[in-house]
Amino acid sequence: MSQKKELRKGFRLGSLFCFMVATLLFTRCNAEEGNHDRVSMHMGTALISEDTVPVSDTIPADTIKVKVEPSTYTIIGVGDMMLGTNYPSASYLPPNGGKDMLASVEDVLQAADITFGNLEGTILDKGGKAKQCRNPSACYVFRSPESYVQHFVNAGFDFLSIANNHSGDFGQAGRTTTKAVLKEAGIAYAGLAGTDEYAIVEKDGMTYGMCAFAPNWGTCSIHDLGKAKQIVRKLDEQCDVVIVSFHGGAEGSSHQHVPKKRETYYGENRGDVHQFSHTVIDAGADIVFGHGPHVTRAMELYNDRLICYSLGNFCTYGRFNVRGVAGIAPIVAVEVDKEGAFVGGKVTPIYQQKSHGPKIDSQKRAINTLIELTNTDFPNTPLEITKEGELKRKE
């Protein structure tokens, strides 16, 4: 009996000793493993061995955030916009305070880093001195309510050109109020000689510059190529991407082709838009958005920069002719690299009628028009426009 007691006692002591040793070893191993994990977290991928636990196994993925800079940037351009005029009568304003005019294409316009359009007319509730027309049958004056600026904000516009034949429709009062309303809304504008020749916007680490030209009183002149080069060069020194807008060329369905010479319309010199576009690109412009003819014109890829010779009537309510080719237009999204060079793009075709603003055109008429005109006017351009509206370099 005593021998069995001694054996049990010895067994208990031995077991206790083994248990203590095992516990000590286990604790030490856990401590070393914990230390190993902490070093891996601090050192990241600096510890590379067969025993190293991958960082993804030790740090939750949502705690590692690496900011990746985009390699390309998208700039959208559209043509003429006049959402409704309260002059000479409020009957020329659209229903619902104009809130529906851009609603069908807002998603498209917002899907860009920068969105541009040409503002035809003034933003002014009342007052101002309406311009006198030499030919009343071919002359209109536009004055949109100041509340309409919110429609441009909602659609995502960053830049608006005020260099055109309607920005002076209500004299200095019209221009002053238009600029004040746009500034209050946070929309940049450009195109007035001596005062507002260019604008610069910084967005997501990129700097975008815009300048605008026209053949009209008070605007930066499309005829003064020396001054145009000076403005563009100044922007090129300060900005990553330089956007140039022009309002030029003859109007209407009989003037859809780019003649590559000076154009006149109703006795007015509307400029040589081909020479102008090449000149500003040579001076440092990255994209040229043209408008003024109220119809779609060809595109050209020149020195790796895109020229749109006319973006047509985009949203022109009430007093504009939108029949036939005047009622179709492109929304052009241009993709560029950090230097502003052309990477690619996409055309979204729209149409409008007297009763509504732009809507997506399932018939893709603006795309078909662009293909035909570009192939005719610039057969040697390296630009290809596909039937789906993709813009790319020819293979």
Residues 284 and 350 in one domain: yes
| Boundary (domain end) residue, out of 20, 45, 63 | 63
Q: What is the mean pLDDT of residues 77-96?
A: 96
- Is 239 domain-assigned? yes
- Cα-based angle 99, 102, 104 (whole degrees, multiple of 5): 110
Q: How far apart are CA 59 and CA 362, in angstroms?
A: 49
The Cα 110–Cα 267 span in angstroms is: 39
**Which of 12, 39, 63 delimits the end of a domain?**
63
Tell me: the pLDDT tens digits for 122-174? 999 999 999 987 766 667 899 999 999 999 999 999 999 999 999 999 999 99
Domain total for the chain?
2
Q: Is the pLDDT of residue 287 over 50?
A: yes
pLDDT in tens, 49-74: 334 444 444 545 555 566 667 899 99
Indicate whether 68 belongs to any domain.
no
Which residues are within 8 A (CB) of 325 and not within 5 positions of it... i.e. 6 or more apart? Answer: 253, 256, 295, 296, 369
- Report CA Rg, the chain: 32
Is there a contact between 145 and 93 (Cβ–Cβ < 8 Å)? Answer: yes
Give the mean model confidence (pLDDT) for residues 193-211: 97
Q: Residue 343 corresponds to which tokens in the numbers above?
A: 């990477």
Q: With contact defined as beta carbons under 8 Å apart, do 231 and 197 qualify?
A: yes
Give me 153's structure tokens: 């904000």
Burial-class residue 148 by CB neighbours within 10 Å (0-12, 13-18, 19+): buried
Q: Which of 63, 84, 108 is the last residue of a domain?
A: 63
- Determine contact, residues 257/309, Cβ cutoff 8 Å: no
Residue type, 99: K
pLDDT at 14: 47
Residues 77 and 59 in one domain: no
> Among the listed ranges 29-33, 79-83, 116-120, 291-295, which one has the minimum average pLDDT value?
29-33
The model's confidence at residue 26, banded by pLDDT at 50, 70 and 90, is: very low
pLDDT of 353 > 50? The answer is yes
Residues 35, 176 share a domain:
no
Whole-number pLDDT of residue 65:
60
Residue range 299-323: mean pLDDT, rounded: 97
Q: Is the pLDDT of residue 356 over 60?
A: yes
Euclidean distance between CA atoms 325 and 327, whole angstroms: 5
Give the model confidence (pLDDT) of 231-272 as tens digits. Answer: 999 999 999 999 999 999 999 999 999 999 999 999 999 999
Residues 6+ apart with CB under 8 A from 24: none
pLDDT at 132: 85
Q: Cα(250)–Cα(238) distance, rounded to whole angstroms?
A: 33
- The pLDDT, as a whole number, for residue 215 is 98
CATH number at residue 183: 3.60.21.10
Q: How many residues does the chain have?
A: 395
* Mean pLDDT in residue range 203-227: 97
Amino acid identity, position 120:
E
pLDDT per residue over 32-54, tens digit each?
444 433 333 332 323 333 344 44
Mean pLDDT of 368-379: 98
Per-residue H/E/C for 270-283: EECHHHHHHHHHHC
Please give the residue that has the higher pLDDT: either 27 or 386.
386
| 34 and 99 part of one domain | no
Note if the bond before 88 is cis, omega within 30 degrees.
Answer: yes
Q: Is residue 238 in some structural domain?
A: yes
Q: Is residue 145 located within the same domain as residue 227?
A: yes
Select from 186, 165, 349, 341 the least CA-distant residue to 269.
Answer: 165
* 80 vs 16, higher pLDDT: 80
Please indicate, yes or no, whether residues 274 and 375 belong to a single structural domain of this protein: yes
The whole domain housing 23 covers 2-63
Q: How many C-beta neighbours within 10 Å does residue 292 have? A: 32
What's the pLDDT score for residue 39?
Answer: 30
pLDDT higher than 80, residue 81: yes
Q: Are residues 232 and 272 in the same domain?
A: yes
Asked if 158 and 203 touch (Cβ cutoff 8 Å), the reply is: yes
Q: How high is the mean pLDDT of the chain?
A: 87
Predicted confidence at residue 134, as pLDDT, reads 72
42 or 286: which leads in pLDDT: 286
Tokens of 144: 């949109």
275-285 pLDDT, tens digit each: 999 999 999 99
* 50 and 156 together in one domain: no
What pLDDT sits at residue 261? 98
What proportions of the chain, in percent to the nearest 5, are helix, strand and coil? 35, 30, 35
Burial category of 366 from C-beta neighbours within 10 Å (exposed 0-12, middle 13-18, buried 19 and up): buried
> What pLDDT is attached to residue 61?
52
Cis-peptide into 60, omega within 30 deg? no
**Cα separation, 230 vs 198, whole angstroms:** 11
